[in-house]
Amino acid sequence: MGLNYAASEEDEQEIARLVTSVPGIRRIHNLRSRRIGNGVAIDLHAKMDGSQSLTDAHAKATAAERLIRERFGSNALINIHMEPDTQGAMRD
């Protein structure tokens, strides 16, 4: 059993880049990550257009999870909390 420690700043920047590369995810915040042995656990909030359907928001979160797993491994533990973006009309 490995020690728990935060993922590197570079890894967190890569996570943010991957998640925001999904069309419709405008930005992220409250990113927390930690290395657990050879794996990684990631928890973040994703800001999206609040007028979209839950089905669409879920599909975007699932796409972001897929990108993270492609980069950090299939056993990555990922939690994405979807939030409406309240900073006015932004273009995707």
Q: What would the pLDDT profile of 21-57 be if each residue is shown by its tens digit?
A: 999 999 999 999 888 888 889 999 999 999 999 999 9
Phi, psi (rounded to 5 degrees) for 56: -65, -45
Domains defined for the chain, CATH in brackets: 4-84 (3.30.70.1350)
Return the higher-pLDDT residue of 81 and 8: 81
pLDDT at position 1: 35
pLDDT at position 91: 46
Cβ atoms < 10 Å from Cβ of 46? 24
Q: What would the pLDDT profile of 47-83 be if each residue is shown by its tens digit?
A: 999 999 999 999 999 999 999 999 999 999 999 999 9
Return the higher-pLDDT residue of 4 and 66: 66
39 in Cβ contact with 66 (< 8 Å): no
